[in-house]
Chain A
Amino acid sequence: NAGVTQTPKFRVLKTGQSMTLLCAQDMNHEYMYWYRQDPGMGLRLIHYSVGEGTTAKGEVPDGYNVSRLKKQNFLLGLESAAPSQTSVYFCASTEGLIVGGGYEQYFGPGTRLTVT
């Protein structure tokens, strides 16, 4: 199993450009999440999905849109990139409560985005 994969790994955008980050998971997880990590700020939730066809706002949703058309994929879009969106973006997924286990989220390797 590949787990959680993210495409691309690196990207440089100019202000105003758009792009889509792709997250894919092969664990049949119901729940998926997009976070951004900035120095000294920890992991902040952008948007999340509790199942195919559903999306919801997290802590810092402004400037981003998401879609979950297939259970295994969760897309994060930036319609008009701004320098404040320079960050490392992580996707995560979870099955929810695992009998005998817990609520761990599994993370992808990250996408480093720079907006100039």
Chain B
Amino acid sequence: DQQVKQNSPSLSVQEGRISILNCDYTNSMFDYFLWYKKYPAEGPTFLISISSIKDKNEDGRFTVFLNKSAKHLSLHIVPSQPGDSAVYFCAAFDSGGSNYKLTFGKGTLLTVNP
């Protein structure tokens, strides 16, 4: 039972355009969401997060949108750059727990073409 789903295994966009990566979740207890970026042969690095009390969080070129009623979040990258090419993982968290476990999606490979 996959609680965090990234239904697009891959996405290809042109440099300078917008990249939109999507994530759906099923567990209504999740109240904090994170995006991680992973380059080949490196560990995942934290990118941006959002609490369920917000519907948008922005950090430079990266914006995460949360639609709680639809249990859906998306990561927007504007403008996309070739260096953004990586695997992006969506993760969710239930802050009511005591172990700070994250539940990850399977990832989306973003390729930004020059």
Contact = CB atoms under 8 A, between A and B. Distances in A.
A36 to B, nearest CB: 11
A4 B43 CA distance: 10
Given A42-B89, A43-B89, A97-B95, A105 B102 contact: yes
B69 interface: no
A57 to B, nearest CB: 11
A102 B36 CA distance: 14
Interface stretch (B14-22, B72-80, B104-112): B104-112
B32 A42 contact: no
Given A48-B101, A50-B99, A104-B49, A43 B43 contact: no
A56 B104 contact: no
B45 A107 contact: yes
B54 to A, nearest CB: 12
Interface of B: 6, 9, 32, 34, 36, 41-46, 49, 51, 89, 93, 95, 98-102, 104-107
Given A45-B101, A102-B34, 19 more contacts: A4-B43, A31-B99, A33-B101, A40-B9, A40-B106, A42-B107, A48-B101, A50-B99, A90-B43, A92-B43, A94-B100, A102-B49, A103-B32, A103-B34, A103-B93, A104-B46, A105-B102, A106-B46, A109-B41
